[in-house]
Amino acid sequence: MDQFLRVAIEEAEAGLKEGGLPIGSVLVHDGRIIGRGHNRRIQQGSPILHGEMDALENAGRQPASVYKNSTLYTTLSPCAMCTGAILLYGIPRVVIGENSNFTGEEELLKSRGVVLDIRQDQDCIKLMGDFIRQHPDLWNEDIGE
Ligand SMILES: [Zn+2]
């Protein structure tokens, strides 16, 4: 498996251990991880800390040239908020672990020229699927992410 998707899954598993939603993300630039994170909506009582937002936050402020040459990995298809951040910063490529439990704004991303690489990874599908079955209340609290 792609080493960076593996790290995103490790982040998702860390979030699950903390009692949160198992969604992880990694920002990769020039073959190197510059930010990694996971959904911390429950842990932080945050309405905005989805996995992708947490990875971007942990990468800190970066020059525009860095975002424009980066790939964002996420274990689950990005929601409207995270899609907005991807478009805002001009990240050209997104690797999506799976979109079978939730399909985010993929059409919007594609319409703006973002290249999507959807893996339908079985570990990602199981992590999210099990969580949704066990915690439908937490899953449904925001838009399903
Ligand atoms: Zn999101």
Single pTM value for the model:
0.96
Q: Which of 107, 112, 46 is nearest to 78 (CA)?
A: 107
- State the distance from the centre of ligand 1 to the C-alpha of 52, rounded, in angstroms: 6
Task: Give the pLDDT confidence score for residue 144 in this predicted structure.
Answer: 56
**pLDDT tens-place string over residues 62-99:** 999 999 999 999 999 999 999 999 999 999 999 999 99
Task: Give the pLDDT confidence score for residue 44 in this predicted structure.
Answer: 96
Percent of the chain surpassing pLDDT 70:
98
For residue 54, what pLDDT band results from cuts at 50, 70 and 90?
very high
- State the distance from the centre of ligand 1 to the C-alpha of 141, rounded, in angstroms: 13
Task: Give the pLDDT confidence score for residue 47 in this predicted structure.
Answer: 94
Task: Give the pLDDT confidence score for residue 89 in this predicted structure.
Answer: 98
Given 52, 98, 105, 145, which residue is catalytic? 52
Task: Give the pLDDT confidence score for residue 25 in this predicted structure.
Answer: 98
- State the distance from the centre of ligand 1 to the C-alpha of 77, rounded, in angstroms: 8
Q: What does the alpha-carbon distance between residue 34 and residue 25 come to, in Å, rounded to a whole number?
A: 11
- State the distance from the centre of ligand 1 to the C-alpha of 145, rounded, in angstroms: 6
Instruction: Say which residues have a Cβ less than 8 Å from residue 140's Cβ, sequence separation at least 6.
Output: none
Q: Is the pLDDT of residue 35 over 70?
A: yes
CA distances from 107 to 34, 37, 101, 120, 123 (A): 27, 24, 16, 17, 24
Task: Give the pLDDT confidence score for residue 119 in this predicted structure.
Answer: 98
Task: Give the pLDDT confidence score for residue 145 in this predicted structure.
Answer: 52
Active site residue 52: yes
Structure tokens at 119: 């893996």
AA identity, residue 64: A
Q: What backbone torsions phi and psi does residue 92 show, to the nearest 5 degrees?
A: -85, -15
- State the distance from the centre of ligand 1 to the C-alpha of 80, rounded, in angstroms: 6
Q: What does the alpha-carbon distance between residue 49 and residue 26 come to, in Å, rounded to a whole number?
A: 14
Q: What does the alpha-carbon distance between residue 92 and residue 19 come to, in Å, rounded to a whole number?
A: 32
